[in-house]
Structure 1
Amino acid sequence: MTARAVAEQVRSGAVSALEIVERALQAARELDPVLHFLDELDADGARRAAERVDPSGPLAGVPFLIKARTPPESPLLTRLIAAGAVPIGWATRARPGAVSLTFGWNGREYTRNPWDLEQSPGGSTAGGAAAVAAGVVPLATGGDSGGSLRIPASFCGIVGFKGTYGRVPRPGGRALGGLTTAGVIGADLDDVILATSIASGPHRLDSTSLPHWPVPSVSDRRWRVAYRSTLGSCPADDDVDRVLRDRLAAADVELADVPLELEPTAEAWPVLSGLDNGRGAEAAAANRARLVRDHNNTALADLFAEVDALVTPTTLTVAHGYDQHEETIVTGDPCWVFNVTGHGAVSVPAGLSDGLPVGLQVIAPHGADDVALAVARRLRAELPAPRVHC
């Protein structure tokens, strides 16, 4: 069931929040030995929380997983819980110090992809994506500083949404580099939209948080979009590009050929990440990163004067092997561009390539997250259940 359907059943009295949570706990126990998505299960805490749930909440009784090492005071968590959602534990993320971050690690095993156990579910929101794709929970939380919501969504055939910078408040407030946005991944686009709306709005811990974002109304207009198969020096795999082009051709959108010249972010992103994580940066490098951000924001503003949205592959490849964690893997280049600029971006499934999901990313102007989501709704593909599923 979707998160919205779960909450409706709890509100109607057809099922209790405790019953829903027990099902999720049982599914987690059965599938974690196969997928290794749990950092820690909190069965007792989940049961206590379920017994206290107000059945009138918009997410009443909805079980979810928290990305490991998320601060408990995170507004994303406190607001989802206040809406009735019940955390059942913490999901894996990338191993500290790993060369590549598109993996999950529980301290003993690497997290596996429900579509193919030899593949990674992406990262760093790895465990949450694997659990959502497998049907254990409908939602999981995460943060996105270089694609950590969108890359695992792409690899696992689900939805990952990074709102415009400040859409969801963060407990650390304004970061020096301004890369990271808190957010949600889910199996259903409307669930992700609802959860993001609930988590949005001003918060005392984050002065950069935007006003409350109401659930946008569905628009039936015909969207004008630009498509780029890559935004950097590395091309998308031919089959990934083909799946997206086929999806665009089948959808009711107008495809426009509009120029876009972006500065490479390969040097700017590490500088901004260092500032975000307290490592500092030389003045010249920080100034260069700012110039890249300014140039790309201007270039994108010019693009969006001509089109409603930009569409790209979310990742340049489908999921890679779970055991490639010590390799430098270039797959998420289309993602981190929009952490540097702060644009909202959403990943939805576009189809399959060799049996693995292909993600489609939609970007719209700053603040126009409703447009990105409306275009994503038009373009997303329905996928079959993965190999490992509840």
Structure 2
Amino acid sequence: MSAVEVVAEAVAAAERLDPVLHFLEELDAGALAAAERVQPGGPLAGVPFLIKSRTPADAPIIARLVAAGAVPIGWSTRARPGAQSLTFGWNGTDYTRNPWDLSRSPGGSTAGGAAAVAAGVVPLATGGDSGGSLRIPASFCGVVGFKGTYGRIPRPGGRPLGGLTTAGFIGADLDDVIVATSIASGPHRLDPTALPHWPVPAPQDRGAWRVAYRATLGACPADPAVDRVLRDRLTEAGVELVDVPLELESTDEAWQVLSGLDNGRGASATAANRARQIRDHNNTALADLFAEVDLLVTPTTLTVAHGYDQHEESIVTGDPCWVFNVTGHPAVSVPAGLADGLPVGAQVVAPHGSDAVALAMARQLQVALLPPPIR
């Protein structure tokens, strides 16, 4: 197939399904023309993808995908500004729906990207993860979401003061997400402090994994059905579960301060020092954990997808995620099974810089789900 044929098919699918799922903020009218200009041979030649709403036009992640031959077909929805909960998507008139169940949310804030990937419209969507914004929707929609070690992919504004957000991808296939991350990685003139280029990792040839499992990392417990899916999957995968202490300080306070610093709201010296102390404590606690085990596995979300109309409620489901935005560890979510007919995500976390280890474990844990009803 030509790039034009592939992109035309994706655009047609978007036009057909967006009135049902509301995952688009806007289609790119120039997508077919861009497909005509694609040169054969690029690692992503002709691959259609969606850009997360409000991503700056000069973002390195977009420029590098396009340089590799990928074609953006539009901009996907994200959470409505000022909403009580951010695990939703909003296109300006309606809320984004989950292709597994139209009464459910696809998560957020990369809501539209996850819904479109799960529905088979595009194989990849870009996003940024400052509190689980890639991993939560990946979990709700039964696809892959990967946040590399902090700084893995350069950002257009350079390194912010708080250091929470890592750009990344949601994809239907783990290998696609890995390739896209490699292409987008490495320092850039807009972010010269980004980590060095990250090559596609070689297969991990090793014996049994030593894994610490935690059903929750906060005060709220995981739904028993979600916890059961993860425990069963770890048993099926044959990993060695190791009981290692892990005492983390609550992330809530530090995350709010660091988010304020990232977004220009500032913070008092006392609050900033306290946030740094929490980050340092949790980094040390995790370093001690990883001295005893290879990986940490948690449910990505404490529940399966909640209702799309619960956007004004304070919903606690992504607690296992934002801990690792504060610390900067690599974390990936892959589908691990179903609970009540809805996807359950497994979050795999590795030491700083050990992205390849997290991805290797994720490959072993992921389950190939049947396609969702809306596709």
TM range (shorter): over 0.9
Task: Determine if contact 1:230/1:334 at 8 Å carries over to the other structure.
Answer: yes
Q: Which amino acid aligns with 1:182?
A: A
The residue that corresponds to 1:177 in the other structure is: 162
Distance 1:307 1:68 in 2: 38
The residue that corresponds to 1:281 in the other structure is: 267
The residue that corresponds to 1:313 in the other structure is: 299
Secondary structure of 1:136's aligned partner? coil
The residue that corresponds to 2:129 in the other structure is: 144
The residue that corresponds to 1:198 in the other structure is: 183
The residue that corresponds to 1:158 in the other structure is: 143
Deviations 1:87-130 (A, max 9, x none): 00000000011110000000000000000000000000000000
Distance 2:67 2:88 in 1: 31
The residue that corresponds to 2:228 in the other structure is: 242
Among 74, 89, 96, the alignment partner of 2:74 is 89
Instruction: Within 5 Å, give how 1:314-329 maps onto structure 2.
Output: 314-329=300-315
Distance 1:375 1:69 in 2: 32
Deviations 1:115-166 (A, max 9, x none): 0000000000000000000000000000000000000000000000000000
Among 130, 149, 153, the alignment partner of 1:168 is 153
The residue that corresponds to 2:35 in the other structure is: 50
Q: Percent identity?
A: 80
Instruction: Within 5 Å, give how 1:229-268 maps onto structure 2.
Output: 229-268=215-254
Distance 1:233 1:300 in 2: 18
| Shift, 1:241, TM fit | 0.3
Distance 2:272 2:312 in 1: 28
Q: Which amino acid aligns with 1:110?
A: Y
Aligned length: 374
TM-score by length of 1: 0.95
TM-score by length of 2: 0.99
Distance 1:170 1:152 in 2: 21
Instruction: Within 5 Å, give how 1:39-78 maps onto structure 2.
Output: 39-42=25-28, 44-78=29-63
Secondary structure of 1:195's aligned partner? helix
Task: Determine if contact 1:252/1:378 at 8 Å carries over to the other structure.
Answer: no
Distance 2:274 2:373 in 1: 46
Distance 2:306 2:273 in 1: 35
Task: Determine if contact 1:37/1:128 at 8 Å carries over to the other structure.
Answer: yes
Among 187, 193, 203, the alignment partner of 1:208 is 193
Distance 1:220 1:356 in 2: 32
After TM superposition, what 4+ stretches of structure 1 lie above 2 angstroms from structure 2? Answer: none
Distance 1:55 1:313 in 2: 40
Deviations 1:5-62 (A, max 9, x none): xxxxxxxxxx1100000000000011000000000001x3101110111110000000
Q: Which amino acid aligns with 2:78?
A: R
Task: Determine if contact 1:158/1:186 at 8 Å carries over to the other structure.
Answer: yes
Cα RMSD of the aligned pairs, angstroms, is 0.6
Distance 1:208 1:364 in 2: 22
The residue that corresponds to 1:379 in the other structure is: 365
| Shift, 1:208, TM fit | 2.5
Task: Determine if contact 1:61/1:84 at 8 Å carries over to the other structure.
Answer: yes
Q: Which amino acid aligns with 1:362?
A: V
Q: What are structure 1's unaligned runs of at least 5 residues? A: 1-14
Q: Which amino acid aligns with 1:58?
A: P
Matched, 1:353 2:317: no
The residue that corresponds to 2:12 in the other structure is: 26
Secondary structure of 1:267's aligned partner? helix
Distance 2:252 2:6 in 1: 44
Secondary structure of 2:30's aligned partner? helix
Distance 1:106 1:354 in 2: 28
Q: Which amino acid aligns with 1:63?
A: P
The residue that corresponds to 1:116 in the other structure is: 101
